[in-house]
Structure 1
Amino acid sequence: MHFSKMHGAGNDFVVLDLRDGRAPPTPAECARIADRHFGVGCDQLLTIEPAPGADAVASYRIWNADGSVAGQCGNGARCVAAWLVRAGAAPAQDAFVITSPAGRHPVRRNARGDFVIDMGAPRFFPADVPLRGFAQTQDAYPLQIAGRTLVVGAVSLGNPHALLEVEAVDGADVAGIGAALQQHPAFPQSVNVGFAQVLAPDRLRLRVYERGAGETLACGSGACAAVALLDRRGRVRAAAGVTVALPGGELHIQQDADDHLWMAGPAAFVFEGDIP
């Protein structure tokens, strides 16, 4: 099986072309491919599959490094778009549409040539995240972790996100708190956990501990979640655009008049190979 190794701001992927109708790898096979010592190595595995309708050029699905299924992947969406353009399946400059388990995603190019993806509108209602124990939407939710109270924001971007605002991301206990929140009963489907440091209304730093992958160098949906939640608190201005600096690079997030979040950033090819 031929694959492409790609990354978006350091968030790396193994991309498989399954547009011929072949079945995707099993969860165990996905985990073996993702293993950085015994496989190819990646944060997530992406399968490119036939489009569900005439208005899209293709669809894609996502598996985390542990073989679990993911509902959305923003950096992966840009890599899928770049892969489709290189394959001649999507126009190089004109807009087109791809679909994910989270829905329909229009794609365009900006002046720098980066792919810009419509990540949809954030959903804040607790049942949509999903988040248990709260009936109404709040800017932040108190949760008990190991005898202390953590105040987190929560939102869905097609996958669940929790966000903690911190004074400095460099000193944040990303792995400890991230793993604890992922196991918290308030998040029945687990959760991607972001740690945000606001630098200015148009700039923030972010680290993300992802479901099924641990801390990654970048998380596109996590960047969108952070901007959406911090905009609700008046900490950033999503409509004006926010640059999110992650360990692997920068993403630019901007919210349109319909509340959809558009994400721009890099998508790079690393190497090609074949899996026996």
Structure 2
Amino acid sequence: MKFTKMQGLGNDYLYVFAAALPPHVKALSKRLSDRHFGAGADGMIFILPSDRADFMMRIFNADGSEAEMCGNGIRCVGKYVYDKGYTDKTRLTVETPAGIKTLLLHTAGGKVQTVTVDMGRVAVGAPQTVTTTESTVRLTPVNMGNPHAVVFVDDAEKAPLATLGAALSVHPAFPDGVNVEFVSVTDSTHLRMRVWERGSGVTLACGTGACAAVAAAIATGFCTKNTAVTVMLDGGALTVQVDGNGEVTMEGPAETVFEGEVADDAT
């Protein structure tokens, strides 16, 4: 099985173009994502045929669980299919478990450099207080097609990702688990964010998380609608904008790291 390792702001996945999901896909993703005994990644993304869009994307985390959506991952899907000649469109649609997303590919020299994604409409819940063994925190639940809990802090650099982030991610308040974003506000157009991703742990970036952070910041009064906000993550910056109807767009880079192949007896 051939794969391509790609990354968006350090959020890295193994990409496979296939007619169907392979058997035992969850175990396969867990094994190949291992950074010591596998190829090493935050998970695997399969690009499949779709009868509703140009392509379909299925995402499996490093622990084998399936994710509904990945903002960094879908940008790399756009780069993959264009750079490899599976499409000549610079505007295309991708079916995900979180709905159909529209991508605008920005190219140079025949290759995709950055991608703007129409992420759909965000749903921001009422702030709530959650108690863990670590502490009691105030958070804002956000649905970007996948679940997020945004925690505003004074300094995201000091965010307790491995303790509080991990505890919130599996808290009973979120039966399906949740991605946890710790966000500090630099000013009305700049946020600093660090993330504990459900199923992957600490990652360098989370695209849907950045969108959730901006939406929560707008709901809290830190940012405003119809204004581009730069979200600085450990892996780099994303630009996010939420319009008056709650529709979210995100722009960021997509890069190919290397090509690889797994022996048939390893799949």
Provide the TM-score with structure 1 as the length reference: 0.90
The answer to whether residue 20 in structure 2 is matched with residue 21 in structure 1 is: yes
Distance 1:221 1:199, change over 3 A: same
The residue identity in structure 2 corresponding to 1:36 is: R
* CA distance in 1 between partners of 2:134 and 2:255 (Å): 43
- Matched residue of 1:188: which SS? coil
Matched ranges for 1:237-256 at <5 A = 237-256=224-243
* CA distance in 1 between partners of 2:107 and 2:188 (Å): 23
Contact preservation (8 Å) 2:3, 2:14: yes
- Matched residue of 1:60: which SS? strand
Contact preservation (8 Å) 1:238, 1:253: no
Residue 44 of structure 1 corresponds to which residue in structure 2? 43
The Cα offsets for residues 198-242 of structure 1, whole Å up to 9 and x where unpaired, read as 001100100000011101000000000000111111101241110
Residue 266 of structure 1 corresponds to which residue in structure 2? 253
Residue 66 of structure 2 corresponds to which residue in structure 1? 69
Contact preservation (8 Å) 2:169, 2:196: no
The Cα offsets for residues 145-177 of structure 1, whole Å up to 9 and x where unpaired, read as 227421011011111100111111111111100
Paired positions, count: 259
Larger relative strand fraction: 2
The answer to whether residue 87 in structure 2 is matched with residue 82 in structure 1 is: no
Residue 31 of structure 2 corresponds to which residue in structure 1? 32
Distance 1:91 1:141, change over 3 A: same
* CA distance in 2 between partners of 1:2 and 1:261 (Å): 34
Matched ranges for 1:1-276 at <5 A = 1-18=1-18, 20-21=19-20, 23=22, 25-53=24-52, 56-91=53-88, 94-109=90-105, 113-124=113-124, 137-138=125-126, 140-146=127-133, 148-276=135-263
The residue identity in structure 1 corresponding to 2:139 is: V
The residue identity in structure 1 corresponding to 2:242 is: Q
Contact preservation (8 Å) 2:14, 2:43: yes
State the percentage of identical aligned residues: 41
* CA distance in 1 between partners of 2:177 and 2:158 (Å): 24
1:245 offset after TM fit, Å? 0.3
Contact preservation (8 Å) 1:194, 1:208: yes
* CA distance in 2 between partners of 1:235 and 1:257 (Å): 16
- Matched residue of 1:240: which SS? coil
The residue identity in structure 2 corresponding to 1:86 is: D
- Matched residue of 1:197: which SS? strand
Provide the TM-score with structure 2 as the length reference: 0.93
The Cα offsets for residues 51-75 of structure 1, whole Å up to 9 and x where unpaired, read as 132xx21010000001011111000
Contact preservation (8 Å) 1:197, 1:206: yes
Contact preservation (8 Å) 1:227, 1:238: no
1:195 offset after TM fit, Å? 0.3
The residue identity in structure 1 corresponding to 2:13 is: F
- Matched residue of 2:120: which SS? coil
Question: What's the C-alpha RMSD, in Å, of the aligned pairs?
Answer: 1.6
- Matched residue of 1:120: which SS? strand
1:262 offset after TM fit, Å? 0.6
Query: In terms of mean alpha carbon deviation, does 79-88 or 257-266 score higher?
Result: 257-266
